[in-house]
Amino acid sequence: MKLEDVRRWVEQMRKLHEDNVPYLVIDGKYYTPNDILREAEANSPLWKKMQEQLGDPPLKLSWSLLEKRIEERVKQGRVPKIYKMGREITPEQQLEAIRKKTIDGYTILLAEAKLLEELEKRRKQNL
């Protein structure tokens, strides 16, 4: 990815309010699109590692990354309540379900995986 591509992508992520949500994991540390842009601008050794994940094969998804993304969105107040079979599931309860590894928790993580796959598809289309 060229620096101008990264800038354009991060600008799109800002419009979607996804720029401060973890996007990839390297050596156990989570990085947001804004973090990725900073490393790209610095042309750091970490940026080289990031480029490996942002190329082909597709971005590595992990349960921990998906959980961290939802956790960050809960902090930002961007997770809506879910209504399921007459009951309300708050964002905090959703996060609890994820941490307890319940069926509802896995369902939420799978939806987050689909979102991240779509964001990645969009990123690659705009290169």
Is it the case that residue 126 has pLDDT exceeding 80? Answer: no
**Tens of pLDDT, residues 108-122:** 999 999 999 999 998
- 97 has pLDDT over 70: yes
Confidence of residue 41 (pLDDT cuts 50, 70, 90): very high
Domain residue ranges in the chain: 3-125
Band the pLDDT of 99: cuts 50, 70, 90: very high
Checking if the pLDDT of 30 tops 70, the result is yes
Question: What is the value of pTM for the model shown?
Answer: 0.87
Which residue type occupies 122?
R
Portion of the chain with pLDDT greater than 90, in percent: 82
How does pLDDT run across 51-94, given as a tens digit for each residue?
988 887 667 788 999 999 999 999 999 999 999 999 999 999 99
Q: Would you say 69 and 38 are in contact if contact means Cβ atoms under 8 Å apart?
A: no
